[in-house]
Amino acid sequence: MNLTHTDSTLPIAPSSRAASDRSPHQSASTPPVQPGVASVTHLTNRLGEYMTPAELKKVKEAYRFSDEAHLGQMRMSGEPYISHPIAVAEICADWKLDAQAIMAALLHDVMEDQDVRKDELIERFGAPVANIVDGLSKLEKLQFQSQVEAQAENFRKMLLAMARDVRVILIKLADRLHNMRTLGSMAPEKKRRIARETMEVYVPIAHRLGLNNIYRELQELSFSHLYPMRYRVLGKAVRAARGNRREVVSKILESVSSTLEATGIPVQVYGREKTLYGIYTKMVNKNLSFSQVLDVYGFRIVVDSFANCYVALGTLHALFKPMPGKFKDYIAIPKLNGYQSLHTTLIGPYGTPVEFQIRTQEMHRVAESGVAAHWLYKEDDENNLSDLQQRTHAWLQSLLDIQKQTGDSAEFLEHVKVDLFPDSVYVFTPKSKIIALPRGATALDFAYTIHTDVGDQTIAVKINLEQVPLRTELRNGDIVEIITAPTSRPNPNWLSFVRTGKARSAIRHHLRTINLTESIELGRRLLSQALVTLNLPAEIQPALAERLLNESSAKSLDDLYADIGVGKRMAALVARHILSLIEHETVVVHPDVDRHGELVPKKIDPVVIYGSEGVSVQLGSCCTPIPGDDIIAQMKRDQGLVVHTMDCDVARRQRNKEPDRWIDVVWGADIERRFDCRITLLARSEKGILARVAAEIGESDANITHVGMDEDKDNLMTHLHFTVQVEDRVHLARLMRNLRRINGVTRLLRAKG
């Protein structure tokens, strides 16, 4: 996490050239202020500053409608419920959102709480307002299997509505902010649940859209409810530290203000105190005590022009020594959310590190309000968008792309969460175009960012003109070139290392659609096996199938089998669900019982593996099983069945973690393909040894797919590493017997792990 981006503004000392935009009572180290009851008079006065009388009249009409709809409804705090929509509208008015958005903010709960129909809103206030309200309303009338599924589907509905109209998320964030400010009347467990949801979803969305004031406040409020004791203790420590550090801060403020005044640059100097959450995460991530966190205070310098940002930077570096590696130019390369500033950390008086942020007034406005500084919602405005708007528009469009490739709500939300990371790396295409990706993104993520087809057809990648593996993590400044082939297709193993939601959803979509027949057949076999284990018929009866599909959200039995085949659903859990349906319907089942009346599990046949099933069955790269090995298989989400040898160390560790995901498998008969196997030889370093070994492998009717070698430090012995293709263990044993006869080979083994 970039802690310098989680600061709050705090006046530190009076100065003719220094200013502050917050009161000491609103500082980061005091508990958030609980707002009073919102006033419609105050709201209309605020709106009157930028709206026409005609627009204001429409807003008042929406207020009267909402007031009547919520008449008699109270909040948990005892306030009239209408105070909440007014407060949400006031927050939106701070961004100067248009009349439609303010009307939607006032009406945002009438569909969900008061059963007002969408067509009624369309008739009274127009389709745009009704669509926004609909996007903000939860799907409470539908039936879901679990609270998690319901929550995921509601998030998907909201995010897709946001992709079509960004005002949806602006109003939702305002709604969440007011709810978090007034969370005090809730039960402790509910507080923690709402705070956790806020921290996991709404905080990163606010950051992604550049709404940094809301981002910081939501973060701080969530922290105060998730860890109230830590919040209080840390707040007390910060308040005590203010007095101890005031002399240092005042001296820095005075020096900086007078030095910048001498340059003649119009400038404002703000003192800043980090939020408690920013201090807390730094303590946790770097294992520091509070006394070791030296840069609790920092300074923000706001100048009048782009050029003077760099003049002010040079002036500061002449005043205090900069810390090596602590300078970042977010003006030349802005963050994904449009944030621009120069960041530098200097060694101040008494050796204290002090951070400075330098920006213009316009950069400061965007840094605090993000996309709301000049929000967009009209599709026909795309040619006139600012750089920030274009990036936001591209991200919103990517949500629609992920939606098209995603199977269900939980998966969609998982992909979106992956992309909601504040830190980014910036890399270049061969034509010098800058591409921003989440930190930890790989070369393959870069390929999918360029285009889904490019990612699907990737066969190799070059970083800084050197060929590297697809899983290589990107670093700032890398020049990335993707090599494709029309015949190339995604590999299930790619899911183990790609980082971005777009890449993951594209790969999963391909595996689901291209290999659908294989996945359906495998899922059918796995479910039949699980049903027999519970003493149930292997085939699902039609009446039972209809009930099962209604409760599982699958469109057909084939969809259900495909989900099981790619590991998205567990066959054992589906089988138990079927058993519960049978028991509920009091259908008589005649299981086998022993003389004591105990259920006798039926002996079931293992799943037969032929190695030619396609991507629905993968052979573990850790142990490279071949026919004749004792094997076992793991169901991995979106990778289907992954087969390991019984003695595989990786399999042993995974079985301890997830024992329910393992099933018995056996090799089929009459297998007509060859399998990769790794062998390692220790041989004397002498002329022609590699040629003799390679020739013997060919004579033994085995293919070489890879070869490598390592020499010892004295150049006396050589390790030869081969990947060879054999038919089975008998073929491998014959090959190894022949290799041991070669003069110069002193040791030979099959390599695993």
pLDDT tens digit sequence for 512-540? 676 677 778 878 888 887 787 777 887 88
pLDDT at 16: 34
Location of structure tokens 């005043």: 319
The confidence score (pLDDT) of residue 222 equals: 92
Q: Would you state the pLDDT for residue 729?
A: 92
Element (H, E) at 33: none
Decide which of 254 and 372 is more confident: 254
Domain ranges (residues) in the chain: 3-26+229-371, 40-181, 387-513, 606-673, 675-750
pLDDT for 11 equals 35
Catalytic residue status for 68? no
Domain 3-26+229-371, classified CATH 3.30.460.10, yes or no: yes
Predicted structure pTM score: 0.53
pLDDT of residue 18: 35
- 214-218, 398-402, 415-419, 542-546, range with the lowest pLDDT: 415-419
Q: What is the pLDDT of residue 465?
A: 87
Q: Is domain 675-750 annotated with CATH 2.60.40.1180?
A: no
CA dihedral over 609, 613, 619, 624, signed as positive or negative: positive
Q: Could you tell me which residues come within 8 angstroms of residue 205 by beta carbon, excluding any fewer than 6 positions away?
A: 169, 173, 420
DSSP string, 532-573: HHTT--SSPPHHHHHHHHHHH--SSHHHHHHHHHTTSS-HHH
The pLDDT of residue 738 is 92
Report pLDDT for 375: 46
Choose, from 113, 149, 295, 676, the residue flagged as catalytic.
113
Query: Has residue 414 got a pLDDT over 80?
Result: no
Flag the least confident range among 284-288, 320-324, 475-479. 284-288
C-alpha dihedral (340, 344, 345, 347), degrees to nearest 10: -150
Q: For residue 596, is pLDDT > 60?
A: no
The continuous run of DSSP H or E covering 442 comes out as none
Question: What φ, ψ does residue 733 adopt, rounded to 5°?
Answer: -60, -40
pLDDT band of residue 151 (cuts 50, 70, 90) is low
Q: pLDDT value at position 707? A: 87
Mean pLDDT of 53-72: 89
Q: 668 or 17: which carries more pLDDT confidence?
A: 668
**pLDDT recorded at residue 749:** 92
Report percent pLDDT > 90 for the chain: 12
Per-residue confidence (pLDDT) for residue 385, from 0 to 100: 45
Checking if the pLDDT of 602 tops 70, the result is no
Of 79, 112, 261, 401, catalytic: 112
112 is annotated as an active-site residue? yes
147 band by pLDDT with thresholds 50, 70 and 90: low
- The pLDDT of residue 381: 47
Domains 3-26+229-371 and 387-513 alike in fold: no
Interacting residues of 685 by C-beta distance below 8 A, sequence separation 6+? 711, 715, 716, 717, 718
> Looking at per-residue confidence, does 227 or 14 come out higher?
227
Most confident of 198-202, 207-211, 577-581: 198-202
Q: In angstroms, what CA-CA distances link 318 with 308, 311, 322?
A: 15, 11, 9
Q: What is the pLDDT of residue 638?
A: 54
Provide the pLDDT for residue 110.
85
User: Is the predicted pLDDT of residue 413 greater than 50, yes or no?
Assistant: yes
Identify residue 326 by its one-letter amino acid code. K
Q: Which range scores top for mean pLDDT: 34-43, 185-194, 308-317, 654-663?
A: 308-317
pLDDT of residue 25: 33
pLDDT-derived band of residue 255, with 50, 70 and 90 as boundaries? confident
Locate 568 and state its tokens.
Answer: 């998205």
Q: Is 90 exceeded by the pLDDT of residue 626?
A: yes
Check whether 679 has a pLDDT greater than 60: yes
More confident residue, 156 or 488: 488
Neighbours of 736 (CB within 10 A): 18
pLDDT digit string, tens, across residues 703-748: 888 888 887 666 678 889 999 999 999 999 999 999 999 988 999 9
Q: Which of 145-149, 313-317, 374-378, 721-725 has the lowest mean pLDDT?
A: 374-378
pLDDT in tens, 14-50: 333 333 333 333 343 444 444 444 577 888 888 888 8
pLDDT at position 95 over 90:
no
Q: Which stretch of 227-236, 358-367, 440-449, 538-547 has the lowest confidence by average pLDDT?
A: 538-547
Output the pLDDT for position 542.
Answer: 79
Position 444 scores a pLDDT of: 92
CATH code that applies to domain 387-513? 3.10.20.30
CATH architecture label of 40-181:
Orthogonal Bundle (1.10)
